A and B are shown apart, each in its own frame.
Chain A
Amino acid sequence: MIRIDSVRKQFGSIVALDGLTLDVRPGEMFGLLGPNGAGKSTTMALLTGLHTPDAGSISVLGGDPRDPALRARLGLAPQSLALYENLSGRENVTFFARMFGLRGARLDQRVDAALDFVQLVDRQHDRVGGYSGGMQRRLNLAAALVHEPELILLDEPTAGVDPQSRNALFENVLALKAAGRTIVYTTHYMEEVERLCDRVAIIDRGRVLAVDSVAGLL
């Protein structure tokens, strides 16, 4: 599903990734665990084609993530809340669905399903600026799932949310896992990977320190 081979990425004098190598299997929930600045978000940016590696190679879903056709099969929930506060929740999800080519009856159907999945149907017509942090995180997830991607990339999806909202997000992620989706999940909380992930890579300073199942690492 994903193959990252000896990838190096440098921003000026800062080495973000230093020979990173990873494999993610189909249907697997794979965790990237590491402190801030470890290279988790840079890895996500490489997987979605936002960056190009300086060295090494990346294959996602059997192709180059810089290919727009391939990106249509990916769903990214970025770490920053990439939403429009002056649009309603429904307008946000509808807009991002259109960016992935959805239209007509299927568009409405998928937007309804995504909002229902994150339990925001009741607040779908409210502007996102009035949502709580947890609700915005859930909407961020809905926008990543609306086009039914084969590969879901969740970049610290619980950052800055209260425990109740975090539990709601966990429920969403576990439902995706139960549905057999392939998910890459970045976090710096051990408890999250313990609860959610099949396998985990611990990374620091752009290098993989260990890769194994949670039980194996413990």
Chain B
Amino acid sequence: MNALFALAAKDIRLLLRNRGALFFTMGWPLLVAIFFGMVFGGDGGSSRPKVALVVQEPHAATERFAQSVLKLDTLDVERVDAATAEQLVRQGKRSAAIVLPAGFGERSARAFSGDPPQVELWLDPSRKAERAMIEGMLMKLGGEAMFANISDPKARQQWLSTSRADLDKLPPESRQRFGDFYTALDAMMTTPEVAGGSGDAAAASGPGFSPLTVSAREITVAKRGPRNGFAISFTQGMFWALLGALMSFVTSLVLERMQGTWNRLRSAPLSTASLLFGKALACFAVMFTSLLLVSAVGAMVFGVVPHSLSKLLLAFIASAFAFTGLMMLLASLGRTVQTASGAAWAVMMPLAMVGGAMIPLFVMPPWMLELSNLSPVKWAVIGIEGATWRGFSYAEMATPIAILLATGALCGLAGAWRITRQPN
């Protein structure tokens, strides 16, 4: 076991010291993912949730609030009609829709009487994080809108006038207290210290008071498509990470045989199977690490967050296993670096083209989709996409995982069989 780990560690160290191979294993996949993510209409690197805004009444206060929502830096907001908003949310093209319903403006003109202004949030029930974030944003805007009513003399007079007119709607024991409060508030806001100050003291609303309420309407996303172009391009980047490692190790194995180190290793007290296993172990480790790296950058920078981390790791393990087996088989096809790498490119490029690594699977014509079933690249793509944005269950993941594991085992055994029988 010590010798096996030493074999694998040696290959990883050699890869890390080969800048070209390292670039094509770790750097190139990221460049491909980022470039094609932009080409596919990625959101340019923005990680802001995309939301729709619907305004259902022509009211000045409602319009002011809508404008403040549109100006939010933390949300990517687009104003649309109600039907469009619902469709966008249902298609998964927007995280949520913020709806300012009829009556919003009239309710926001009152201070402490009646119901607070209500905002509707239409979103998929699974989007809990986005919901909390958007609600927080709306509460902040509600507070700011209320402070605007208080701090602007003209708006304040109108707001206090409406509120005093509503005193009759309050219980008799509360009328006096609220009336006194409105008078004191008006007097305080006209003092020079407050009128010319920052107004922080007035920004806070009273205990138990809510500047607005948010009610949610659940809209289940009918078809889970990729959230953005990067969800597609990062899967393709992962293929290039696998391919980069595969080509590096095909070259490495052939070079060992050409330069004599293979024979030196075979003169050691280790079986040829052990030597090949050590090489495969290093190849698998590099592939798995590359996949983790591309995935981490995708998640942290481009918002390509996996649907399920455990399923993604399962897909990575199966994909790295399959490509390690392919590496072994392809390395057995040539006695020189030129012939082996030529054979590897000749095999891998068609597999990639029909497998969804170059043309996304969902835009392929039916005949090409049928053909793609023959490519292990397709099953790696399906497995990774299944865990990233297709929302696969474990049962749905079983097919691609099983095919990848079988491919890795068959190709690995065939490659090892060929290599052990080749003359030195």
Chain A residues in contact with chain B, CB under 8 A? 11, 45, 48-51, 68-72, 74, 76, 78-84, 86-87, 91, 95-96, 98-101, 103, 127, 143
Can you identify 11 A-B contacts, CB atoms within 8 angstroms? A49-B266, A50-B263, A50-B266, A51-B424, A68-B271, A76-B267, A80-B260, A82-B263, A87-B14, A87-B17, A99-B268
Asked whether B183 is an interface residue with its Cβ less than 8 Å from the other chain, the reply is no
The answer to whether A45 and B263 have CB atoms under 8 Å apart is yes
A15–chain B nearest beta-carbon distance, Å: 15
Q: Which of B2-10, B47-55, B62-70, B366-374 contacts A (4 or more CB under 8 A)?
A: B2-10
Closest 3 CB pairs of A and B: A80-B260, A82-B260, A82-B264
Q: A residues within 8 A CB of B170?
A: none
Instruction: State which of B2, B265, B267 has its C-beta within 8 Å of the C-beta of A103.
Output: B2
The answer for the CA separation of A125 and B265 in the assembled complex, in Å, is 22
Answer whether A81 and B260 are a contact pair too, CB < 8 Å, given A86-B18, A98-B3: yes
Instruction: State which of A50, A70, A79, A81 has its C-beta within 8 Å of the C-beta of B424.
Output: A50
Instruction: State which of B2, B14, B261, B268 has its C-beta within 8 Å of the C-beta of A71.
Output: B268
Not counting A51-B424, A82-B261, a sample of 6 additional A-B residue pairs whose C-beta atoms are within 8 angstroms of each other reads A82-B260, A82-B264, A86-B14, A87-B13, A98-B6, A99-B265
Asked whether B270 is an interface residue with its Cβ less than 8 Å from the other chain, the reply is yes
Question: Which of A49, A95, A127, A143 lies at the interface centre, i.e. has the most chain B CB atoms within 10 A of its CB?
Answer: A95
The answer for the CA separation of A51 and B268 in the assembled complex, in Å, is 14
The answer to whether A96 and B268 have CB atoms under 8 Å apart is yes
The answer to whether B259 and A82 have CB atoms under 8 Å apart is yes
Chain B contact surface mostly: helix
Chain B residues in contact with chain A, CB under 8 A? 2-3, 6-7, 10, 13-14, 17-18, 259-261, 263-271, 423-424
Residue of A nearest to B268 (CB): A99
Residue of A nearest to B264 (CB): A82
The answer to whether A84 and B260 have CB atoms under 8 Å apart is no
Q: A residues within 8 A CB of B10?
A: 84, 87, 95
The answer for the CA separation of A96 and B266 in the assembled complex, in Å, is 11
Q: B residues within 8 A CB of A74?
A: 267
B268–chain A nearest beta-carbon distance, Å: 4
Instruction: State which of A11, A83, A86 has its C-beta within 8 Å of the C-beta of B17.
Output: A86
B267–chain A nearest beta-carbon distance, Å: 4
Q: A residues within 8 A CB of B17?
A: 86-87, 127
Question: Which of A11, A79, A98, A99 lies at the interface centre, i.e. has the most chain B CB atoms within 10 A of its CB?
Answer: A99
A86–chain B nearest beta-carbon distance, Å: 4
A160–chain B nearest beta-carbon distance, Å: 13
The answer for the CA separation of A79 and B271 in the assembled complex, in Å, is 22
Q: B residues within 8 A CB of A78?
A: 260, 263-264
The answer to whether B267 and A48 have CB atoms under 8 Å apart is yes
The answer to whether A91 and B267 have CB atoms under 8 Å apart is no
The answer to whether A98 and B2 have CB atoms under 8 Å apart is yes
Q: B residues within 8 A CB of A103?
A: 2
Residue of B nearest to A48 (CB): B267
